[in-house]
Amino acid sequence: MARHRNVRGYNYDDDFDDDDMYSHSVEDDYGISPATAAQFIYSKRGRHQSFSEPLEEEEDEYDDDDKSRAPSTALSPIDQARLFSCLDQMREVLGESVSEQIMTDAVLQCGFDAAKALDQIFKQESNTKKSGTQEATASERPGKGKARDVPSADTHIVPKIAKLTVSGNKQTMGFAVPSASTEVNGQSSITACTKGQTTDDAMEEADNSALSPASSNTSQVSEDLNSTPSQGKSSGKSKQKINIKEELEKRQGGKQLLNLVVIGHVDAGKSTLMGHLLYLLGHVNKRTMHKYEQESKKAGKASFAYAWVLDETGEERQRGVTMDVGMTKFETKRKVITLMDAPGHRDFIPNMITGAAQADVAILVVDASRGEFEAGFEAGGQTREHALLVRSLGVTQLAVVVNKMDQVNWQEERFREVTSKLGHFLKQAGFKDSDVSYIPTSGLSGENLAKKSEVNELKSWYKGPCLIDQIDLFKAPQRSIDKPFRLCASDVFKDQGSGFCVTGKIEAGYVQTGDRLQVMPPNETCSVKGITLHDEAVDWATAGDHVSLTLTGVDIIKINVGCVFCSLSEPIRACTRFRARVLLFNFDVPVTQGFPVIIHYQTISEPATIRKLISVLHKSTGEVVKKKPKCLTKGMNAIIELQTQRPVALELYKDFKELGRFMLRYSGSSIAAGVVTEIKE
Ligand code: GDP
């Protein structure tokens, strides 16, 4: 598990070009350690236990329904929750084809075992069918006979499309796609939602011309593969090179993909806001919402009903209970959004950071209430840390949601007060004014989320977009599909069948089944026997996709997490010595020659030493102000030479921004961010 790291380097996009960041006072309070990172990602899960709200009496619009729930009322609250959870699982299979009463009876008879209860119902059904009219084929009785295959669209709960689950020391990407959504949306909509992280630099710069268009794959041999890939449709035999841009266009269906993470101080209303938004967008049916209302009421936290929409992810953690990054898909007019829901747990910080690192853009939620905003913003609050974390992970665009505006009577004055304080700080943190927007909302009442608010007090002074429109306005990043293929392994494991699997995010280029790839280190070649994207076998995948590759032709023993799979014609270089430009964070110990550090780069963390201090640079101009300094102190900008213990596959930042950034840590604290300027050995 701990092998899996994906700490993205501090964002240098603008900085490296114009040194903007270097001149800011980020060092004032910047320093993210695994310990502090725990609080960076909100955990709705824990909060369910910690809040005890007075029960809100809410009208039950489903009173009629409750007859069918009659037996449940005699149950203890825990058993009721178990019952509802079973019913929910069963509805995903049965849809509306079986009455709740029948399902409830089956659950109770089967001791809250949803699988057994389903079996029981199917048995009963087939008995009924046998004894019933023989002509009644399944097709003639769509309601029942086809229930399993075609669940009612109503069963479509929040379409969680992906999970990054770490179980023991095996990490897999499991994709929990409710069958309804698969059937309804078809593969394209599913694949459309896995955009991986494409860095902001690519987005901002669109300057891929530095590298000649990838010839990487064109020379690849379609050598093969003794057998048809086990993973379905991929033939693996003589293949034609595809036009990746066209294929991608088809797959995306004209909509751009965007990964979104929601951050902010605990209690700012993040979950309520996003849960309510998903509800308003029609991603949560009334029945499910009713279930959340009931469950949250029972738990004494009625005001958390919307927040529980996103907590559904947690219920599905069955394997190994480690950590997963649930992704929820929703769409705006022009975008397919993957909402990154990365529940925080102290033990899984690296994976948490990985989850946040996949974001292209972020929503920062702050509580407008008097005293609450201040508590979240001041030292110790999470507002600043979260903003700094996502910025350091490469996010440049931010929508600041000034939430709970209902609590301050929608006052413009309060909104301005909050936004001006935040604006100043965010600028210091490296966000450009033009990339930050501010939206007043109420997550609880739903004002200004899916449509412009009708509240007069707000309408009178706020003329900007509502939240969903603001999300639509985010600029989508460009993927480096024209560059040579690069995938950094985040896991390596033996699966059934021949060969083995590696998972990881494609950083650049694309891959097709049958391609031959090089692995650096250890400088071996292998063949791609199969590609799996979202649990679906596919023929190709491209930059931004999180995939699993089935490989043959190389011994699994030689492959480790952190190995980079790349094109044969333009492979990545592996080295133990390289030079880099670094920005030192707030760190009190002077950095001298021989200083031991851990390099966090892509999925690896590798021990290294600072071999040489080459020069100190001017923060703004980048000119050398001192050669061969004796030591480096906080806030300095310098060129250093690093020596790793084992070879690491790296790229120059100028060639591949995604693969040229790293972070340096020492004793659990991030001490510097760097970009590779020269590869020595
Ligand atoms: P999180 O910790 O940021 O995810 O916050 P939650 O979504 O769990 O919300 C914390 C509390 O704030 C809950 O009791 C919510 O009902 C309440 N809350 C959230 N949004 C609003 C809002 O817009 N107005 C009011 N008055 N309360 C809200």
Of the candidates 656, 607, 600, 665, the one whose C-alpha atom is nearest the C-alpha of residue 7 is 600
Pure H helices in 536-678: none
pLDDT at 461 over 60: yes
The class (CATH top level) of 486-567 is mainly beta
Phi first, then psi, for residue 50 (nearest 5°) are -90, -15
Q: What gap in Å lies between CA 150 and CA 141, rounded to an integer?
A: 12
Whose Cα sits closest to atom 14 in ligand 1? 303
Q: Provide mean pLDDT across the span 214-220.
A: 30
Rounded Cα distance between 598 and 661, Å, is: 14
Return the pLDDT at 129.
Answer: 52
Whether 173 shows a pLDDT value over 90: the answer reads no
How much is the mean pLDDT over the chain? Answer: 70
Structure token digits, residue 273 = 């806001």
Q: Is 651 in the pocket of ligand 1 (CB under 6 A)?
A: no
Helix axes 286-298, 77-94, angle to 10 degrees: 170
44, 1, 4: which is closest to 546 by C-alpha? 4
Q: Is the CB of 310 under 6 A from ligand 1?
A: no
- Report how far residue 657's alpha carbon sits from residue 31's, in angstroms, rounded to the nearest whole number: 22
Question: Does 615 score more than 80 pLDDT?
Answer: yes
Cα–Cα distance, 1 to 7 (Å, whole number):
14
Q: How confident is the model at residue 174 (pLDDT cuts 50, 70, 90)?
A: very low
Residues carrying CATH 2.40.30.10, the chain = 486-567, 574-679
Residue-wise pLDDT for 347-382, tens only, equals: 444 454 555 666 788 999 999 999 989 888 886 667
pLDDT of residue 591: 93
65-74, 202-211, 232-241, 277-286: range with lowest mean pLDDT: 202-211
Ligand 1, residue 275: give the atom nearest the CA: 7
Query: Could you tell me if the CB of 266 is within 6 A of ligand 1?
Result: yes
Q: 267 in ligand 1 pocket by Cβ < 6 Å?
A: yes
The fold of the 574-679 domain, in CATH, is: Elongation Factor Tu (Ef-tu); domain 3 (2.40.30)
Residue nearest to atom 22 of ligand 1 (CA): 404
What pLDDT digit, counting tens, does each position of 538-563 carry? 999 988 777 889 999 999 999 988 89
Tell whether ligand 1 has an atom less than 6 A from the beta carbon of residue 444. Answer: yes
Atom index in ligand 1 nearest the CA of residue 301 equals 14
Most confident residue range from 36-40, 256-260, 353-357: 256-260
Atom 9 in ligand 1: residue holding the nearest Cα? 269
3-state secondary structure of 434: helix
Q: Which CATH number fits domain 250-473: 3.40.50.300, 3.40.640.10, 3.40.50.720, 3.40.630.30?
A: 3.40.50.300
Cα separation, 22 vs 1, in Å, equals: 34
Q: What is the Å distance from ligand 1's center to 307 Cα?
A: 8
Q: How confident is the model over 388-415, as a mean pLDDT?
A: 89
CB-ligand 1 contact for 270 (6 Å cutoff): yes
Report the separation in Å between the CA atom of 271 and the middle of ligand 1, taken as the mean of its atom positions: 7
What's the rounded Cα separation, in Å, for the pair 6 and 355? 9
Q: Where does 430-544 show beta strands of DSSP type E? A: 436-440, 486-493, 500-508, 510-512, 516-520, 524-533, 536-538, 540-542
Mutate to test the pocket of ligand 1, among 41, 43, 267, 418 (most ligand atoms within 8 A of CB): 267
pTM score above 0.75: no
- The segment(s) of the chain belonging to CATH 3.40.50.300 are 250-473
Percent of the chain with pLDDT over 70: 64
Other CB atoms within a 10 A radius of the CB of residue 487 amount to 27
**pLDDT tier at 574, thresholds 50, 70, 90:** very high
Contact 368, 462 (CB under 8 A): no
Select from 544, 384, 546, 539 the least CA-distant residue to 479: 544
Does ligand 1 come within 6 angstroms of the Cβ of 407? yes
3-state secondary structure 606-639: EEEEEEEEEEEECCCCCCEEEECCCEECCCCEEE
What local confidence, expressed as pLDDT, does residue 581 receive? 93
Q: Which residues contact 154 (CB under 8 A, 6 or more apart)?
A: 95, 96, 285, 287
Between 510 and 30, where is the model more confident? 510
**How far, in Å, is the centroid of ligand 1 from the Cα of 432?**
28
What would the pLDDT profile of 410-455 be if each residue is shown by its tens digit?
999 999 999 999 999 898 778 999 999 999 999 999 999 999 999 9
Neighbours of 390 (CB within 10 A): 27
* CA 405 to ligand 1: nearest atom: 23
Instruction: Please determine, for residue 595, whether its predicted confidence score (pLDDT) is greater than 70.
Output: yes
CA distance 511 to 533: 12
What is the per-residue pLDDT for 448? Answer: 96
